[in-house]
Amino acid sequence: MEKIQVVTKGVLNCVSNAEIEALRPEGVSALSKLVDGTGAGNDFLGWVKLPTETPAALLNDINATAAQLRELCDVVVAIGIGGSYLGAKAVIEALGNSFAAYKNDGIKVLFAGQNIGEDYTAELQEYLADKKFGIIVISKSGTTTEPAIAFRILKEQLEKQVGHEEAKRRIVAITDEKRGALRSLANTEGYKTFVIADNVGGRFSVLSPVGLLPIAVAGYDIKELMKGAADMQKATLDGQCDAALTYALTRNALYRAGKKIEILVNYNPKLHFFAEWWKQLYGESEGKENKGIFPAAVDNTTDLHSMGQWIQEGERSIFETVISVAKSDRELRIPFDEANLDGLNYIAGKRIDEVNKMAELGTRIAHIDGGVPNLLIELPALSEYYLGSLIYFFEAACGISGYILDVNPFNQPGVEAYKRNMFALLEKPGYEKETEAIRAKLS
């Protein structure tokens, strides 16, 4: 089985191998903190051994529940925000047909509760008006504003369309084991439920029921996904594979050399939402105490016609991490044209993927020559197995990198600031003092 590879040659225009290796003791110590649970945020390390410790019975239950939803529904709406939707969305989009996003006996999975868009929600309601739909609602508390609004609206719609009893069969709740508003409602109504473990934070939850159930509903092999993650877990924690450690060391060496922005680059449009998941994982984990690499992303070659100029010749505060997918699923060749008015006959007969690979290589060379360090992550293929491996690779590297940066990678205190202001402005009960204070600021 081929493995994910990390190639650091393209960063040596900025940092030396010696500078990267000088960080190895810090990286090894950070990895030990993940394994031993001795670092900050150690009460949120449930994800570290999740791939190997997830019972087969749980995966079977998730698959059985997904099959029931597929039997009852044509569409399932997964309601959640942050890690409660990004991981599932990333995998489904990466594996799916670009114009369907599901395969085999899977069905369409839509997402709600990831925004407070009135038009988005109203248009979703209109779309669902003549559909057999179900709901997967994902929230530890059940009171997070965005998903709570979406669930209230869509639950009411579902109950009106099919009746209260049938709606209960089509709703699955993924929530806290014992506490919270959603747990109480699920117990009262008799919804099928799965548990969000207390020691697994949202952005690390894609390999739990949070991500696995929507992925299974869409028709993808969650056992293969978990196998890929489990193999990467064992290799990383046992020291047989240092890909995650190498990535963490290299990006921190670049950060210390003044490269404050990391751009995750893909040359496969199916990876757009994988980059969105990565941005949350690293932004929420590292952006603390006035520290942290800013995570950005581009989809090439598309963004070479927009962001390419800035990357090539803008401020040299950036580095790129390129995800290169070795094999394409399909084969499509460029035809020969007798008239050759477009001048493309020089590449007639070549696969589109070959042209794309040359665009990727040419861009990497140009950016390196332009002073932009380039890390390369080589992914053998887009499959459940390799996506599982890639997810765990990035999660492990994130934990290591956060500890090297000397922050707690597993909390997100800054996220609460906007919520306090929003609740005060909406005059939520219990926020009277905050309401008064914010009105004074605005007066």
SS (H, E, C) the chain: CCCCEEECHHHCCCCCHHHHHCCHHHHHHHHHHHHHCCCCCHHHCCCCCHHHHCCHHHHHHHHHHHHHHHHHCCEEEEECCHHHCHHHHHHHHHHCCCCCCCCCCCCEEEEECCCCCHHHHHHHHHHHCCCCEEEEEECCCCCCHHHHHHHHHHHHHHHHHHCHHHHHHCEEEEECCCCCHHHHHHHHHCCEEEECCCCCCHHHCCCCHHHHHHHHHCCCCHHHHHHHHHHHHHHHHCCCCCHHHHHHHHHHHHHHCCCCEEEEEECCHHHHHHHHHHHHHHHHHHCCCCCCCEEEEEECCHHHHCCHHHHHHCCCCEEEEEEEEEECCCCCECCCCCCCCCCCHHHCCCEHHHHHHHHHHHHHHHHHHCCCCEEEEEEEECCHHHHHHHHHHHHHHHHHHHHHCCCCCCCCCCHHHHHHHHHHHCCCCCCHHHHHHHHHHHC
Q: How far are the Cα atoms of 26, 43, 235, 410 from residue 245, in angstroms, in the given order?
A: 10, 22, 11, 18
Q: Is the Cβ–Cβ distance between 285 and 398 less than 8 Å? A: yes
Tokens (6 digits) for 392: 């765990």
Tokens of 371: 């002073």
List the structure tokens of 250. Answer: 């290299």
Residue 349: other Cβ atoms inside 10 A? 10
Which tokens hold the place of 257? 């050399």
The answer to whether 78 and 109 are in contact (CB under 8 A) is yes
Query: Which residues carry out catalysis?
Result: 284, 305, 419
Length of the chain in terms of residues written: 443
Spatial distance between the Cα atoms of 314 and 214, rounded to a whole number of angstroms: 40
> What is the C-alpha to C-alpha distance for residues 260 and 251, in angstroms, rounded to an integer?
10
